[in-house]
């Protein structure tokens, strides 16, 4: 049982290492996307979107591997309560993690959460930029047609309805 748990632990570490690598790549692409937005490089943006889609497809494949790992743990270890989430899987792998000199899975999980949080923040910045650019384009277009409306921004960068 102990060797089986260590095997699942090493497989989980491999999955988390790949998650960290792929999410780091996604974060870097998101930052590059922001730079391309600022400089107006539309062709570069199209290529970045394709690369981001490729990275997200790889992440999805590793998520399938993680799901299979959880299913394998449930089938072979027959725990009292089946593992149904990542948190429960990490909890089930605490014993082999504690026996190691460096808690690799715990560290990788913390790193992964940090990378995902930073990627979400950068995506919000990108979306803010895009929303403001689209509103400015609309204002320019309406200026040419003689129809002018005024909008304000909310805290999230989204335009508020003109009636507010």
Cross-strand pairs, 159? 153
In a domain, 136, yes or no: no
Task: Determine how many CB atoms are found less than 10 A away from the CB of residue 111.
Answer: 16
Rounded-to-integer distance, Cα 79 and Cα 94, Å: 14
139 within 8 A of 50, measured Cβ to Cβ: no
Q: What is residue 164's predicted lDDT score, i.e. its pLDDT?
A: 46
> End-to-end distance of the chain based on CA atoms, in angstroms?
64
> At residue 53, does pLDDT exceed 90?
yes
Residue 40, domain extent: 2-116
> What's the average model confidence in pLDDT over 58-71?
96
- Confidence label for 113 from pLDDT (cuts 50, 70 and 90): very high
In a domain, 66, yes or no: yes
Q: What percent of the chain is modeled with pLDDT above 70?
A: 88
Pick the more confident residue, 132 or 71: 71
In a domain, 45, yes or no: yes
16 within 8 A of 112, measured Cβ to Cβ: yes
In a domain, 137, yes or no: no
CATH number for 16: 1.20.58
Q: What is residue 117's predicted lDDT score, i.e. its pLDDT?
A: 97
Q: What percent of the chain is modeled with pLDDT above 90?
A: 46
Rounded-to-integer distance, Cα 6 and Cα 15, Å: 14
Q: What is residue 135's predicted lDDT score, i.e. its pLDDT?
A: 78
Residues 6+ apart with CB under 8 A from 48: 29, 32, 33, 36
Q: What is residue 45's predicted lDDT score, i.e. its pLDDT?
A: 84
- Confidence label for 43 from pLDDT (cuts 50, 70 and 90): confident
> At residue 155, does pLDDT exceed 70?
no
pTM above 0.85, yes or no: no
In a domain, 140, yes or no: no
Residues 6+ apart with CB under 8 A from 164: 152
Q: pLDDT digit string (tens) for 73-89?
A: 999 888 788 888 999 99
Q: Count Cα atoms within 13 angstroms, Cβ side, for 49.
A: 8
Task: Tally the domains of the chain.
Answer: 1
Where helices occur in the chain by DSSP H, the ranges are 2-39, 42-77, 86-92, 94-99, 104-145
Task: Characterize 122-145 residue by residue with b for buried, 16 or more Cβ atoms within 10 angstroms of its Cβ, and e for exposed.
Answer: beeebeeeeeeeeeeeeeeeeeee
> What's the average model confidence in pLDDT over 24-52?
90
């Amino acid at each position: 049982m102990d060797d089986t748990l260590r095997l699942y632990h090493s497989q989980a570490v491999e999955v988390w290492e790949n998650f960290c690598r792929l999410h780091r790549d996604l974060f870097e692409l998101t930052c590059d996307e922001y730079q391309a937005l600022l400089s107006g490089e539309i062709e570069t943006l199209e290529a970045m979107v394709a690369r981001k889609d490729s990275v997200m497809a790889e992440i999805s494949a590793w998520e399938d591997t993680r799901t299979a790992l959880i299913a394998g743990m449930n089938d072979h270890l027959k725990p009292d309560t089946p593992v149904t989430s990542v948190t429960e899987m990490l909890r089930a792998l605490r014993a082999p993690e504690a026996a190691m000199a460096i808690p690799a899975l715990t560290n990788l999980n913390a790193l992964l959460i940090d990378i995902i949080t930073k990627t979400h923040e950068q995506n919000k910045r990108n979306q803010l930029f895009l929303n403001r650019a689209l509103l400015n384009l609309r204002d320019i277009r309406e200026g040419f047609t003689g129809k002018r409306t005024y909008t304000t921004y909310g805290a999230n960068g989204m335009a508020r309805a003109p009636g507010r």
